[in-house]
């Protein structure tokens, strides 16, 4: 049986419809249960003493004063925890030559960034623990800090990890064709330098973990705000010496994640280790300063790039040299090399060309650790690509739309492998661009821009095409030896009254996992979504899976749910056929009732099947299978990734006197394959766009030359607020993947991938007549004014 | 911790329509009083210095930041949190609009958003979208991009202005 997606009036047609999220009604009443809301008997709190130095040797630690406080129960140093917890190294075997040193839950000999946890203080209350932390005295001997990216490998720069001999974590060049010859002979060559600012996820709920060790049961129960419970289960088990089945990770309500909460953090592992030592529940709840210093950062890239074109404006080659600083350690277990690696894969992704070179140099620094954050590497690659394309268009006198029409890969040219080596199944760049032009009424906008320019109003239109990596296979992490699952599973169970419970390995952080899983299972089984209850985020009960990252929930978890629901349907119909003395092929389930497939005539409610199977199984033929609980797992295998595509446009107004950029409107056309819930997809895109707009205009983690963090508060680190954000028009093209029956690809990162480039191009379109351009994010008023020469360089 | 902050103070207040008497440390902030002392975990601490709005609650008819308000300031105050606003039905239309428009994702900002929006939807005039955006600009949401929140508030405002039943 296949689903006739093209027929919106088919029975049980829940896939493709906007249905409300089952968990939204609870959250809007303030009935969420986030980790910090959980109180356990005998629970204590841990606070961390963190390094105030970017790089320092830990000479001595004096804890007696802290221990003397009545509310302080215990104090732990790095050496204490090293006895119960093994260190880790964020390396992937397939990233050749990658280096990173062992990392402990608490720094042992050296602290390597401002905010690295050094001592843990356990108190009866959070205030007690913090008071104790303030009494710990650590004698630091300051060491030279490495903070600059471009000079990190210079011989005179100190080496952070002496055994390595240099500060290089990883370097890779992705090259194809005759790049040097093409650039030497090309009609037009355009060069530019780009910077994407180091920024961070700023989840509204900071990281939080509550770990409880029961020695009697040999079980560690961990409530944690995290995206990947099974990953954390196996890693905590490994480093704390507990069988995997003895670690239960529960991720209930998660207050935003965006990649911030998919990593192993030293303070969280320390909390679990302390719980194991103390044998009682221990909670760590990060405050906002700790979030800024110890959550992962991302996008700290500087690049120079050039593009070669022939006389008709056809792109011939890209050549990019990307540098990125990742802090002192590569993140565990995903590594901090993947962002740079993605840049080498994604540059030029939407375009047709044969000659390609992109090198990334991933260097260590004494700053916070950089790692995977929403749209890993994509905003960097898209900004470089689309910045170069627009600059070339301007130089050649081509309209930005026209140069894209000439160069985007044709919609009928798939499958294909790009010059960078990406295998693309089916994309729709031209259809998407057409839809964008129509949605924004491009010509009218250009005339408005021209007439306003005559009045001294500087408006600009920026366009950015992009591809997005979704539905990753084991080629992303598993191949490198990381215990990160690319497959996912779903168990669907029919209860006696015909209602359904589905347990899925993908997780919910508000994007709508529960809603889409309910829709899929409802359609697959043949009940209404309201009859389906979803369970996520508990490693004790859900099938082993990867969780939610790389826009995999719908495409991979969704397909597992479809197949599991379909299997339950098959079992129900087999039982019904026996009871009705009918052929299962002639029966269907519609809205919770077994019907004749041909006529739709009602034969038997599911509740009757449930009653017989669970309470009067004796009346069924002996040996008749009647497992109304089925599990299916799904893994992509035809392609390493399901790439999606899209195009965004930004309309801005630049105030040439103040340098302020006003976002007037934003458009995105996106092709994420089969859409399961249109409203949720649109809101994923919108939320993603705004994170990209933050990157473009506001967000930058600032360190001084000594590695001190300068803006660790939300008053100093600017995030997008409602007042500055535009309304966003979202449109879709649907090119389902043939990899699965569901046909869904991911949609979570498209907005973030393309928005910064669209804004950059819009600003440059606005200020081009004034001279100058901006390519170093964020585009603050100061940078805009310097670009147009209103203030000195 | 100084001795002053170790002092304990006796408070009487009304929280979600219920009279409350309790003794708390002088350093206790409103958000901690709500979450820790009263178990009202609907309000959240996000930035702990008044920027993100996650702890926004209503005190004597005005929105305040729970993280910047000392409990000691609230002798005799009338406090409403998302729990009480839900039970009283005061914002049922707003909550319905939030759910229908998917104006929340992770839900962590939502109680504060609702508290801020309540003050706006009880005004007589229907503000422009820019006016709604401006009013809500003290509440941070990392998930939605704000447009759905603005839409939901606008829908609620229109509903109330049109005399629609809640």
Quick: pLDDT tens for A712-736.
999 999 999 999 999 999 999 999 9
**Contacts with A680 from chain B: Cβ below 8 Å:** 102
**Which structural domains are found in chain A, ordered by start?**
24-32+487-634 (3.30.365.10), 35-144+206-254+260-294 (3.90.1170.50), 297-474+638-787 (3.30.365.10)
Kindly report the nearest CA distance between residue A224 and chain B, in angstroms: 15
- C-alpha–C-alpha distance, residues B36 and B43, integer Å: 11
pLDDT above 70 as % of chain A:
100
Give backbone dihedrals phi and psi of A441, rounded to 5 degrees, phi first.
Answer: 50, 65
8 Å CB contact between A677 and A511: no
Q: What is the ipTM score, two decimals?
A: 0.97
Asked if pLDDT for residue A434 goes beyond 80, the answer is: yes
Average pLDDT in the A14-18 region?
A: 96
Confidence label for B124 from pLDDT (cuts 50, 70 and 90): confident
Q: So what's the pLDDT on residue A792? A: 84
Contacts of A32 in chain B (CB under 8 A): 42, 107-108
Distance set, CA A379 to CA A526, A748, A775 (Å) = 41, 13, 13
Distances (CA, A) of A384 to A193, A307, A408, A651: 8, 10, 16, 19
Of B82, B74, B61, give the one whose Cα is nearest residue B29: B74
Nearest by Cα to A775 from A33, A271, A195: A195
**A390 φ/ψ angles, rounded to the nearest 5 degrees:** -70, -40
**Residues from chain B contacting residue A509 (CB–CB below 8 Å):** 105-106
CB-CB under 8 Å, A203 with B102: no
Q: Please name the residue that has the structure tokens 């007589």.
A: B124
CA-nearest residue of chain A to B41?
A37
Closest CA to A742 of A167, A49, A16, A11: A16
Question: Does residue B2 surpass a pLDDT of 80?
Answer: no
Give dist(CA A727, CA A693) in Å, integer.
12
Residues 6+ apart with CB under 8 A from A610: A494, A495, A496, A497, A498, A628
Question: Which residues lie below 8 Å from residue A517, measured CB to CB, with a gap of 6+?
Answer: A490, A502, A504, A506, A532, A534, A536, A557, A558, A561
Residue A358: how many other CB atoms lie within 10 Å: 27
Chain A residues with CB under 8 Å of B92 CB are: none
Strand order in the sheet with A488-494: A532-536, A500-504, A488-494, A629-634
* A30 lies within 8 A of chain B by CB: yes
- Condensed to tens digits (0 to 9), the pLDDT of residues A547-605 reads 999 999 999 999 999 999 999 999 999 999 999 999 999 999 999 999 999 999 999 99
Tokens 């729709």, residue located: A428
Answer whether residue A670 shows pLDDT above 70.
yes
Tell whether B141 is within 8 A of chain A (Cβ): yes
Q: Mutation target for A interface from B129, B143, B144: give the one with most A CBs within 10 A.
A: B143
| Region A417-429 average pLDDT | 97
What is the pLDDT at residue B3? 66
Tokens of A13: 């047609």
Q: How far, in Å, CA of A325 to CA of A380, rounded? A: 13
Contacts of A199 (CB under 8 A, 6+ apart): A297, A298, A299, A373, A694, A695, A699, A700, A701
As a whole number of angstroms, the distance between CA A564 and CA A570 comes to 10
Cβ-Cβ contacts under 8 Å between A and B: the total is 171
pLDDT at A793 over 80: no
Cβ distance of B147 and A202 shorter than 8 Å: no
Chain B CB within 8 Å of residue A216 CB: no
Portion 236-295 of A in contact with B at CB < 8 A: 253-258, 287-288
* Rounded Cα–Cα distance for residues A542 and A491 (Å): 7
Q: Which residues contact A167 (CB under 8 A, 6 or more apart)?
A: A146, A152, A153, A157, A159, A160, A161, A363, A364, A365
- Whether B54 sits inside 8 A of A204 (CB atoms) is yes
Q: What is the pLDDT of residue B165?
A: 41
Domains of chain B with bracketed CATH: 3-85 (3.10.20.30), 91-161 (1.10.150.120)
Joined together, the tokens standing for residue A645 give 């595509």
Residue pair A173/A358 in contact by the 8 Å Cβ criterion: yes
Q: Determine the average pLDDT of the residues in B7-13.
A: 95
Residues 749-778 of A with CB under 8 A from B: 751
Q: Which of A106-110, A340-344, A789-793 has the lowest mean pLDDT?
A: A789-793
Which residues in B lie closer than 8 A to residue A689 (C-beta atoms)?
Answer: 145
Pick from A480, A439, A481: nearest CA to A463: A439
Mean pLDDT of A449-460: 98
Minimum CA–CA partner of B97 in chain A: A28
Q: pLDDT tens digits for A467-488?
A: 999 999 999 999 999 999 999 9
Strands across the sheet containing A188-196: A168-176, A355-363, A315-325, A301-309, A188-196
Give the mean model confidence (pLDDT) for residues A334-340: 98
- Closest by Cβ to A204, choosing from B41, B109, B114: B109
Neighbour-count burial for A515-553, b at 16+ CB within 10 Å, e otherwise? bbbbbbbbbbbbbbbebbbbebbbbeebbbbbbbbbbbb
Which of the four pLDDT bands, split at 50, 70 and 90, describes residue A415? very high
| Average of per-residue pLDDT values in chain B | 94
pLDDT band (50, 70, 90) for residue B166: very low
Distance, CA of A749 to CA of A550 (rounded, Å): 8
Express each pLDDT in B50-63 by its tens digit. 999 999 999 999 99
Nearest CA in chain B to A200: B142
Give the model confidence (pLDDT) of A241-297 as tens digits. Answer: 999 999 999 999 999 999 999 999 999 999 999 999 999 999 999 999 999 999 999
* DSSP characters over B52-88: S-TTEEEETTEEEETTT-BGGGGTT-EEE-HHHHHHH
pLDDT at B4 > cutoff 70: no
Question: Tell me: the pLDDT tens digits for A148-198?
Answer: 999 999 999 999 999 999 999 999 999 999 999 999 999 999 999 999 999
pLDDT at B123: 86
Question: Nearest Cα to A84, choosing from A221, A279, A329?
Answer: A279
B24 close contact with A: CB closer than 8 A: no
Residue A689 pLDDT greater than 50, yes or no: yes
């Amino acid at each position: 049986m296949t689903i006739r997606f093209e027929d919106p009036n088919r029975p049980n047609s829940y896939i493709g419809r906007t249905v409300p999220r089952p968990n939204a009604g609870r959250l809007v009443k303030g009935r969420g249960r986030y980790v910090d809301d959980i109180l356990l008997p005998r629970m204590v709190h841990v606070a961390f003493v963190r390094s105030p130095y970017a790089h320092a040797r830990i000479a001595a630690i004096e804890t007696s004063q802290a221990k003397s406080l009545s509310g302080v129960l215990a104090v732990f140093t790095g050496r204490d925890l090293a006895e119960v917890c093994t260190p880790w190294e964020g390396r992937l075997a397939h990233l050749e030559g990658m280096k990173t040193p062992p990392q402990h839950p608490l720094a042992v000999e050296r602290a390597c960034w401002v905010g690295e946890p050094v001592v843990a203080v356990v108190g009866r209350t959070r205030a007690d623990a913090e008071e104790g932390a303030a009494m710990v005295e650590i004698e630091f001997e300051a060491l030279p800090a490495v903070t600059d990216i471009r000079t990190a490998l210079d011989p005179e720069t100190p080496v952070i990890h002496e055994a390595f001999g240099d500060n290089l974590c990883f370097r890779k060049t992705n090259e194809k064709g005759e790049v040097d010859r093409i650039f030497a002979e090309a009609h037009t060559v355009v060069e530019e330098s780009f910077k994407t600012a180091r920024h961070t996820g700023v989840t509204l709920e900071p990281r939080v973990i509550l770990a409880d060790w029961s020695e009697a049961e040999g079980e560690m129960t961990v409530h944690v705000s995290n995206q990947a419970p099974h990953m954390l289960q196996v890693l905590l088990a490994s480093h704390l010496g507990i069988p995997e089945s003895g670690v239960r990770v529960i991720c209930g309500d998660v207050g935003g994640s965006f990649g911030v909460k998919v990593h192993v953090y030293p303070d969280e592992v320390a909390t679990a280790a302390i719980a194991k030592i103390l044998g009682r529940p221990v909670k760590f709840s990060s405050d906002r300063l700790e979030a800024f210093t110890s959550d992962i950062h991302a996008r700290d890239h500087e690049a120079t790039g050039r593009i070669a074109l022939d006389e008709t404006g056809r792109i011939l080659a890209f050549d990019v040299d990307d540098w990125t600083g990742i802090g002192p350690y590569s993140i565990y277990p995903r590594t901090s090399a993947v962002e740079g690696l993605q840049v080498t894969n994604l540059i030029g992704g939407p375009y047709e060309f044969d000659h390609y070179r992109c090198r990334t140099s991933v260097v260590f620094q004494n700053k916070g650790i950089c790692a995977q954050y929403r749209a890993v590497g994509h905003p960097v690659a898209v900004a470089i690509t689309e910045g170069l394309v627009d600059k070339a268009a301007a130089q050649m006198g081509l309209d930005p739309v026209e140069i894209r029409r000439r160069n985007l890969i044709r919609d009928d040219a798939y499958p294909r492998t790009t010059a960078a080596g990406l295998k693309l199944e089916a994309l729709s760049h031209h259809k998407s661009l057409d839809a964008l032009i129509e949605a924004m009424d491009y010509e009218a906008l250009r005339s408005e821009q021209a007439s306003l320019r005559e009045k001294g109003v500087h408006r600009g239109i920026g366009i950015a095409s992009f591809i997005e990596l979704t539905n990753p296979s084991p080629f992303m992490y598993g191949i490198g030896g990381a215990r990160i699952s690319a497959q996912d599973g779903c168990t669907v169970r029919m209860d006696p009254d015909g209602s359904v419970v589905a347990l899925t390995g993908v997780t919910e952080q508000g994007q709508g996992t529960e809603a889409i899983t309910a829709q899929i299972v409802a359609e697959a089984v043949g009940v209404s979504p309201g009859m389906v209850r979803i369970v996520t985020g508990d490693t004790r009960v859900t099938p082993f899976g990867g969780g939610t990252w790389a826009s995999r929930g719908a495409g991979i978890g969704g397909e597992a749910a479809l197949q599991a629901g379909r299997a339950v349907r098959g079992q129900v119909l087999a039982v019904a056929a026996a009871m009705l003395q009918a052929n299962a092929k002639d029966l269907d389930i519609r809205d919770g009732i077994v019907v004749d497939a041909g006529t739709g005539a009602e034969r038997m409610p599911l509740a009757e099947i449930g009653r017989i199977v669970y309470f009067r199984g004796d009346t069924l033929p002996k040996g008749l299978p009647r497992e109304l609980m089925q599990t299916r797992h799904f893994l992509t295998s035809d392609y390493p990734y399901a790439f999606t595509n899209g195009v965004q446009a930004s309309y801005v107004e630049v105030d040439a006197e103040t340098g302020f950029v006003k976002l007037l409107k934003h458009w995105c056309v996106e092709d994420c394959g089969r859409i399961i819930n249109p409203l949720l997809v649109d809101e994923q895109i919108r939320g993603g766009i705004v994170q990209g707009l933050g990157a473009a205009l506001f967000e930058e983690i600032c360190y001084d030359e000594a590695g001190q963090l300068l803006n660790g508060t939300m008053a100093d680190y600017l995030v997008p607020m409602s007042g500055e954000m535009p309304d966003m028009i979202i449109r879709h093209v649907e090119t389902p993947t043939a990899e699965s029956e569901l046909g869904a690809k991911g949609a979570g990162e498209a907005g973030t991938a393309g928005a910064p480039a669209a804004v950059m191009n819009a600003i440059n379109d606005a200020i081009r007549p004034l001279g100058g351009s901006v390519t170093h994010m964020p585009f603050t008023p100061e940078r805009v004014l310097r670009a147009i020469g209103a203030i000195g360089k | 911790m100084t001795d002053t902050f170790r002092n304990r103070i006796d408070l009487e207040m009304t929280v979600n329509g219920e009279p409350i008497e309790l003794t708390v440390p002088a350093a206790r902030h409103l958000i901690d009083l709500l979450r820790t002392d009263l178990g009202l975990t609907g309000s959240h601490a996000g930035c702990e210095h008044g920027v993100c709005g996650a702890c926004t609650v209503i005190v004597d008819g005005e929105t305040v930041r729970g993280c910047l308000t000392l409990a000691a300031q609230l002798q005799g105050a009338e406090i409403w949190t998302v729990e009480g606003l839900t039970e009283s039905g005061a914002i049922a239309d707003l909550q319905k609009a939030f759910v229908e428009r998917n104006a929340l994702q992770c839900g962590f900002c939502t109680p504060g958003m609702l508290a801020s929006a309540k003050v706006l939807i009880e005004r007589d005039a229907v503000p422009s979208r820019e006016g709604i955006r401006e009013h809500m600009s003290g509440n941070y949401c990392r998930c939605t991009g704000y447009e759905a929140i603005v839409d939901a508030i606008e829908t609620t405002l229109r509903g109330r202005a049109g005399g629609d039943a809640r």
